Amino acid sequence: MEEIGKLVKVELRKLWTGEATEFTPWLSKEENIKLLGDTIGIDLELIEQEKNVGPFRADILCKNTIDDHYVLIENQLERTDHTHLGQLLTYAAGLDAVTIVWIAKQFTEEHRAAVDWLNRITDEKFNFFGIEIEVFKIGDSLPAPLFQIISKPNDWSKSVKSSTPPQGLTKTKIIDLEYWQAFKSYLESTGSDLKCSNPLPQHYANFPTGKTNFYMMGIVSVRDNFLRVDFLIDGPNSKMNFGILKEKYESDSYKEIGGQLIWDEIPDKRVSLVYLKKDFDISNRGQWKNQHQWLKETVLKFDKFFRNKIKSL
């Protein structure tokens, strides 16, 4: 039997003597923001450090690349306190829709209960996470951080699985909702790491790209019986960015994503689009598993092809 190492806890202040001067810059690095995002299930894009929100300054401001909502991160290398709790409430009041992540060495029971309470009394536009951070070593290994969720939104890890659709929906909207519910369940059953927006009675679902103004969507058409995966380019530089991507990568995209891929500049609109479409009988529930497999595989192809290419734009 091979020798097994022993986890040794490392004091946070031995690694980061200051929250603002050392811990926040460390967490702001791409690989560390990704580690935090993987923990809470959000694809995060860093916007800036020390963001003004009312009279306070949030340690880190990010965006959730699925829906472009803000994610504010507040750090403590010590036990939670009332001052930081007050700041979190100020941040929530200053933004229309936001996820707030409170990271600390240790959560007191009263502050964990406060975060739970905030998640209960606010609507779906506001989400609060309590995260404890610890660092461990094994022997002479490099110290490794561990984020642990202490409190999270009540329905964060649940799919919308109710068998009774909301009142007043059309037949098409009911199928849309049930289709995305089934797709979410399919992702869970296959153990996929692919992140998807919560199922809603609409013809599309969003997937993260890692960068603001670049969007990836799955489109389902009940009326015309097709699935489509869209890579949408928006923002003030959308046409320039579309041109750069098309000139550099169009030929490779047909090999790596599919020969039927369409690059559409859409000259009369601000957005441009790259998409792949496939005909399916959407009303045939017996075919949904095959459709979901195609959708998942195609989204992953788009993600693999475009994610790193758009970082430099």
The CATH number of whichever domain residue 221 belongs to comes to 3.30.1460
pLDDT at 160 over 50: no
For residues 58 and 129, state if they share a domain: yes
161 assigned to some structural domain:
no
Split at pLDDT 50, 70, 90, the class of 227 is very high
Q: Which residues pair with 104 in a beta bridge?
A: 132
188 assigned to some structural domain:
yes
For residues 89 and 127, state if they share a domain: yes
Residues 33-75 pLDDT 10s: 999 999 998 899 998 887 776 666 778 989 898 888 889 999 9
Query: Residue 180's domain spans which residues?
Result: 171-310
In this structure, are residues 235 and 212 in contact, taking their beta carbons and an 8 Å threshold? Answer: yes
59 assigned to some structural domain:
yes
Local structure of 271: helix, strand or coil: coil
| Domain stops at, among 105, 121, 151 | 151
Residue 79 confidence (pLDDT): 95
Question: How many domains is the chain built from?
Answer: 2
Residue 247 confidence (pLDDT): 97
Residue 189 confidence (pLDDT): 92
For residues 285 and 181, state if they share a domain: yes
For residues 26 and 86, state if they share a domain: yes
Tokens coding 171 = 């037949």
Split at pLDDT 50, 70, 90, the class of 159 is very low
Residue 162 confidence (pLDDT): 47
What DSSP line would sit under 130-143, residue for residue?
A: EEEEEEEEETTPPP
Tokens coding 238 = 């959308």
In this structure, are residues 174 and 280 in contact, taking their beta carbons and an 8 Å threshold? Answer: no
Query: What pTM, to 2 d.p., does this model score?
Result: 0.74
98 assigned to some structural domain:
yes
For residues 230 and 179, state if they share a domain: yes
Work out the percent of the chain whose per-residue pLDDT is above 90: 69
159 assigned to some structural domain:
no
For residue 267, report the phi and psi dihedrals to the nearest 5 degrees.
Answer: -55, -30
Amino acid present at 124? E
